[in-house]
């Protein structure tokens, strides 16, 4: 059957076979090369993805450290918040409607949810995103019962910050809110924060963020392509850490006494705004740092609406400002002790020498008014009755330089170093400053400085620290709010010792002399705070003051409250108990008028609550 020509043509084909074989070998060689590249050289990368594929990492948030007051009362802790997370890749088309109905969302909210999921880039669809945070109990119950049917969904219990005392001490304690781009990029440990985490924003929460935070852990579960967890079916090739326990943050114990803070809150009820500080005179430990009004850290932590934020910002009593350390005031007559000490210490004055107060002092054509006609007063009477004329006469002798020198020694015009939040420095005007700003120096400036007006600016905390130095015999301490730090296992990791700024360099006799006068301010008839004394109660020494307010008249916010906002601030600063001082205090009632009538009663009442015998019903 086979012809010769056909036979030859088969031979003609034969030329091609070698080329074809070569082609086959080259193509398969290329494929083997590719497989080798993928399996041998890129193995780690693909193995990593394979492991990621079948594991779902659940974050285990760290429990933030608890903050307690000096008596161990909880000031900041955590409560469970139920947050809902979703892995968009695992959500089926109708799952979102299901979630929306279980959550009880309205049309607008569920539309927003759908839009948010739809707009995610493909690269993010395998990562969990937070859908809702801190859901209600009934929402939790509804979702929880249907969780098995929604494999893309997870409910994560996250500890949420809780401040049991609400607003009390809010500035000092601070609050948390969500990290922003800047926090994420500036964190020293790049793994420390993830979008959605919360970070200390103010106060102690911010200052001790790194101690309080702790570090997150995780738990991995094996899942299939639909995201269903497969319990007990761990593949042999999976060699990743499946569990890392979170490390809780450190606990802080404060020097603050929340009972004292509550007492101030009660005493301040008649007044819309003010501030008070109480400090242990032997250590500088702050017992109270009270500012009114104040925001509620619970509210700040759960996210403020724009309207709420605007309300806080526009409130004429400025709840966002910490009036103990960030705001400065004229010290008023509380400053007279500085002038008195300067005069005594440099021997400028004989304390027994009397000066006649006619109710005013005329210098040139200027007439300076005193609160009343005090008749003949010596230094002691002048402090007790707060006679301006005496101090004006004294100021002429002492001079502005000496007053400033002793003021600086007592800590004015420098930051106290409390170390939390922004602290104002205050201001003492010098002769040079007056020359630079007013052209020439005039004696009137010295007179104003001597009685705490003029251009002297102090913080409430500075006044308290200075009075603590007077009360303790001349040692100026750094105010401290932290007593100790405890590690998660309960062991003490740091205890804070008293820190001394300086010995103010004033002789004990002169300090004693001033202290005696301060006690009589309260306890001698005619003393400016006599009506605020605790009869048969805790004896208190202190100085009243009335600080003029820079007029707000003519401002845009002029309203019915303007008359009030023009009233002077009332001061009362001192120490207690009178004969064996433990604490020093400074109380400022904004727009309270005279210090003797507004601030002194608050101070003496609070000191009675704090240091006095417990009321009879409490002992039963």
- How near is the Cβ of 89 to another protein at its closest, in Å? 8
- How near is the Cβ of 39 to another protein at its closest, in Å? 4
> Of 151 and 596, which has the nearer Cβ to another protein?
151
Q: Is 225 in the site for another protein (CB under 8 A)?
A: yes
- Contact between 341 and 406 (Cβ < 8 Å): yes
Tell me whether strands 67-68 and 74-86 are parallel, antiparallel or unpaired. antiparallel
> Of 24 and 141, which has the nearer Cβ to another protein?
24
- Which positions ≥6 away from 265 have C-beta within 8 Å? 168, 290, 292
How far is it, in rounded angstroms, from Cα 113 to Cα 132?
10
- How near is the Cβ of 34 to another protein at its closest, in Å? 5
Of the residues 112, 120, 229, 230, which one makes contact with another protein according to CB under 8 A: 230
Of the residues 223, 247, 549, 611, which one makes contact with another protein according to CB under 8 A: 223
Q: Which residue has the tokens 């526009």?
A: 314
Q: Is 492 in the site for another protein (CB under 8 A)?
A: no
Q: Is 10 in the site for another protein (CB under 8 A)?
A: yes
Peptide bond into 293 cis (omega under 30): yes
- Cα dihedral 557, 562, 567, 572 sign: negative
- Return the range that interacts with another protein (CB under 8 A); candidates 2-10, 148-156, 283-291, 305-313: 2-10
Cα distance between the two ends of the chain:
130
Q: Which residue has the tokens 């001079």?
A: 399
> Of 1 and 550, which has the nearer Cβ to another protein?
1
Q: Is 238 in the site for another protein (CB under 8 A)?
A: yes
CA-to-CA separations, 573 to 165, 280, 588, in angstroms, rounded: 26, 14, 8
> Of 232 and 439, which has the nearer Cβ to another protein?
232
> Of 2 and 550, which has the nearer Cβ to another protein?
2
Site for another protein in 425-454 (CB under 8 A): none
2 burial (CB, 10 Å; 0-12 / 13-18 / 19+) is: exposed
Q: Which helix (H) or strand (E) covers residue 170, if one does?
A: helix 170-173
DSSP structural state of residue 354 = -
Of 577, 565, 345, 603, nearest to 463 by C-alpha is 603
> Of 124 and 373, which has the nearer Cβ to another protein?
124
> Of 34 and 194, which has the nearer Cβ to another protein?
34
> Of 156 and 221, which has the nearer Cβ to another protein?
221
> Of 114 and 369, which has the nearer Cβ to another protein?
114
> Of 23 and 427, which has the nearer Cβ to another protein?
23
Annotate 445-477 with three-state secondary structure.
HHHHHHCCCCCCEECHHHHHHHHHHHHHCCEEE
- How near is the Cβ of 47 to another protein at its closest, in Å? 4
Widest pairwise Cα distance in the chain: 154
> Of 7 and 553, which has the nearer Cβ to another protein?
7
- Contact between 153 and 228 (Cβ < 8 Å): no
- How near is the Cβ of 209 to another protein at its closest, in Å? 35
Of 481, 419, 421, 478, nearest to 287 by C-alpha is 481
Q: Is 4 in the site for another protein (CB under 8 A)?
A: no
Site for another protein in 75-134 (CB under 8 A): 122-123, 125-126
Of the residues 4, 14, 553, 616, which one makes contact with another protein according to CB under 8 A: 14
Region class of 21: left (phi > 0), else alpha (psi between -120 and 50), else beta? alpha
> Of 14 and 362, which has the nearer Cβ to another protein?
14
- How near is the Cβ of 8 to another protein at its closest, in Å? 9
Site for another protein in 15-54 (CB under 8 A): 16-17, 20-21, 24-25, 27-28, 30-32, 34-36, 38-40, 42-43, 45-47, 49-51, 53-54
- Return the range that interacts with another protein (CB under 8 A); candidates 1-9, 67-75, 444-452, 536-544: 1-9
Kindly state the number of chain residues that form the binding site for another protein, as judged by CB under 8 A.
51
- How near is the Cβ of 13 to another protein at its closest, in Å? 5
Q: Which helix (H) or strand (E) covers residue 182, if one does?
A: helix 181-186
- Contact between 409 and 504 (Cβ < 8 Å): yes
- How near is the Cβ of 231 to another protein at its closest, in Å? 14
Q: Which pairs from 342-348 meet CB under 8 Å and 24+ separation? A: 342/398, 342/402, 342/403, 342/405, 342/406, 343/379, 343/394, 343/397, 343/398, 343/402, 344/379, 344/510, 344/513, 344/514, 345/406, 345/506, 345/507, 345/510, 346/398, 346/402, 348/394, 348/397, 348/398, 348/402
> Of 44 and 106, which has the nearer Cβ to another protein?
44
> Of 34 and 116, which has the nearer Cβ to another protein?
34
CA-to-CA separations, 326 to 209, 323, 425, 548, in angstroms, rounded: 21, 6, 8, 18
What x/- string results for residues 193 through 222 when contact with another protein is judged by CB under 8 A? -----------------------------x
- How near is the Cβ of 239 to another protein at its closest, in Å? 11
Looking at the DSSP bridge assignments, the partners of residue 252 are 67, 485
- How near is the Cβ of 318 to another protein at its closest, in Å? 50
Of the residues 104, 195, 235, 508, which one makes contact with another protein according to CB under 8 A: 235
How far is it, in rounded angstroms, from Cα 68 to Cα 169?
12
Q: Which residues lie near another protein (CB under 8 A)?
A: 1-2, 5-7, 9-10, 12-14, 16-17, 20-21, 24-25, 27-28, 30-32, 34-36, 38-40, 42-43, 45-47, 49-51, 53-54, 122-123, 125-126, 222-226, 230, 235-238
């Amino acid at each position: 059957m086979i012809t010769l020509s056909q036979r030859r043509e088969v031979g003609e084909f034969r030329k091609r076979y070698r080329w074809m074989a070569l082609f086959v070998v080259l193509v398969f060689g290329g494929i083997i090369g590719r497989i080798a590249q993928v399996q041998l050289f890129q193995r780690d990368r693909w193995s990593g993805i394979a492991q990621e594929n079948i594991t779902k990492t659940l974050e285990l948030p760290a429990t933030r450290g608890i903050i307690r007051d000096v008596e161990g009362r909880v000031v900041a802790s955590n409560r469970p918040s139920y947050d809902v997370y979703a892995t968009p890749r695992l959500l089926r088309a109708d799952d979102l409607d299901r979630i929306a109905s279980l959550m009880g969302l309205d049309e607008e909210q569920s539309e927003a949810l759908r839009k948010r999921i739809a707009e995610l880039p493909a690269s993010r669809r395998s990562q969990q995103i937070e859908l809702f945070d801190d859901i209600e109990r009934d929402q939790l119950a509804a979702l929880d019962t249907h969780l098995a049917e929604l494999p893309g969904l997870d409910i994560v219990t996250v500890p949420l910050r809780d401040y049991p005392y609400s607003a009390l001490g809010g500035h000092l304690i601070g609050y948390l809110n969500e990290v922003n781009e800047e926090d994420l990029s500036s964190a020293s440990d790049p793994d420390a924060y993830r979008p959605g985490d919360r970070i200390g924003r103010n106060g102690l929460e911010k200052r001790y963020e790194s101690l309080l935070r702790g570090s997150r852990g995780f738990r991995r579960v094996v899942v299939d392509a639909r995201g269903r967890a497969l319990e007990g079916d761990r593949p042999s090739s999976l060699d990743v850490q499946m569990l890392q326990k979170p490390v809780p943050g450190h606990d802080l114990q404060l020097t603050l006494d929340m009972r004292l803070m509550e007492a101030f809150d009660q005493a301040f009820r008649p007044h819309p705004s003010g501030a008070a500080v109480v400090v242990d005179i032997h250590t500088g430990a702050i017992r109270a740092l009270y500012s009114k009004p104040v925001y509620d850290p619970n509210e700040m932590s759960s996210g403020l609406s724009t309207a709420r934020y605007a309300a806080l910002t526009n409130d004429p009593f400025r709840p966002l400002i910490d009036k103990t350390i960030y705001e400065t005031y004229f010290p008023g007559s509380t400053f007279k002790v500085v002038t008195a000490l300067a005069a005594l210490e440099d021997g400028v004055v004989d304390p027994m020498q009397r000066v006649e107060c006619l109710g005013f002092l005329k210098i040139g054509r200027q007439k300076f008014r005193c609160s009343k006609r005090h008749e003949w007063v010596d230094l002691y009477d002048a402090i007790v009755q707060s006679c301006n004329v005496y101090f004006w006469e004294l100021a002429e002798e002492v001079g502005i330089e000496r007053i400033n020198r002793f003021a600086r020694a007592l800590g004015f015009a420098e930051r106290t170093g409390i170390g939390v939040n922004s602290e104002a420095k205050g201001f003492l005007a010098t002769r040079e400053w007056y020359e630079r700003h007013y052209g020439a120096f005039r004696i009137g400036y010295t007179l104003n400085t001597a009685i705490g007006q003029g251009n002297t600016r102090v913080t409430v905390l500075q006044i308290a620290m200075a009075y603590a130095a007077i009360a303790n015999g001349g040692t100026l301490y750094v105010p401290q709010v932290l007593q100790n730090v405890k590690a998660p296992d309960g062991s003490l990791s740091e205890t804070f010792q008293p820190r001394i700024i300086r010995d103010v360099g004033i002789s004990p006799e002169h300090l004693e002399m001033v202290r005696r006068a301060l006690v009589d301010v309260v306890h001698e008839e005619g003393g400016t705070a006599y009506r605020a004394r605790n009869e048969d109660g805790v004896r208190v020494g202190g100085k009243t003051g009335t600080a003029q307010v820079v007029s707000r008249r003519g401002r845009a916010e002029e309203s019915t409250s303007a008359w009030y906002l023009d009233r002077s601030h009332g001061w009362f600063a001192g120490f207690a108990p009178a004969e064996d001082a433990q604490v020093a205090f400074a109380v400022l009632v904004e727009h309270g008028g005279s210090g003797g009538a507004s601030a002194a009663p608050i101070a003496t009442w609070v000191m009675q609550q704090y240091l006095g015998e417990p009321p009879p019903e409490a002992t039963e």
